[in-house]
Structure formats: structure tokens, C-alpha cells
A = this chain, B = another copy of it.
Amino acid sequence: MYYSKSAKYAIQAMIYLAESNQEDLIMVSEIAEAYKIPKSFLSKITRTLGKHNLLKTTRGRNGGIQLSKSADDIKLIHIVEAIDGPEAGCERCGFGFDACSDDEPCPFHHKWGHIIKDAHSFIKTESLAELLAESLQE
């Protein structure tokens, strides 16, 4: 995959929350079960998402997690960068060589760089809300 497994888990969790009623508190264990993600591992991920203000957490009985803002305002890149670090969303060509820029293109630069840019602009512009809307369209 393109990004880390952790980032994938993070996105799955965020989608789960976006699909639920936004007022509800959802338990981490519920999401973990739904997507067969190790619970403790997911819990660590949701903590990170919480620290990056992408979700709110509530402890104690009946506690859980929920989106911290509207699904419209959460882009995939926010999630990916929260988990994989700010470099993850960067649009360098990356396939080939150290010397690779628009000035000094590596053999891959044009064709591959184009694909990378598509990927980057996808996660940069796509919000959780849009994602859900599209998946329901058929």
C-alpha cells in the first residue's frame, strides 16, 4: 500500500465515526471489531488522532470517541500526516534517485511524478464526507 497500515487503520476508524451519528460516542473496541484491527493498536492510533485534534475522546463508562469536527472539514491528508508524519503526504517523485526535481528530473520524474501528484492531490482534497457520499452513489 501507499501509506502505512497504521494510516489505513486510522482512516478506517475515521470513516466509521463519520458514518455514525456525530453525537454518539463510539467505543474503540467496536471499531476494532468491525474492521478486525487489534484493539490496543487501534487505541494507540486513536490517541494520536486525538492529539492532532481529529477526534475527541471521552473516558469512563459510556465513554468513547467521536469526530472533533464535521466530516466535511477533515481531509484524508490530515489523517495520514497525523499518523505517518508530515512527509507522508509530500509529492516528491520518490521512485528513483536522489537527484530528482523539476530541474534535474530522474528517469521517472515525468510519468511517475504525475501519478504521485494525482495520489497526493486526492488525499489532499478529499474529505471524509465526500468519500462517504461517493461510496453511497451506487
Q: Which residues of A contact B (CB under 8 A)?
A: 1-3, 8, 11-12, 15, 35-36, 94-98, 105-112, 115, 118-119, 122, 126, 131-132, 134-135, 138
Interchain CB contact under 8 A, A95 and B8: yes
- Chain B, Cβ-Cβ closest to A137: B110
Interchain CB contact under 8 A, A1 and B95: yes
Interchain CB contact under 8 A, A135 and B122: no
Interchain CB contact under 8 A, B105 and A115: no
Copies in the complex: 2
Interchain CB contact under 8 A, A2 and B95: yes
Q: Which residues of B contact A15 (CB under 8 A)?
A: 107
Instruction: Determine the distance from Cα of A107 to Cα of B135 in the docked complex, in whole angstroms.
Output: 5
Q: Which residues of B contact A131 (CB under 8 A)?
A: 107-108
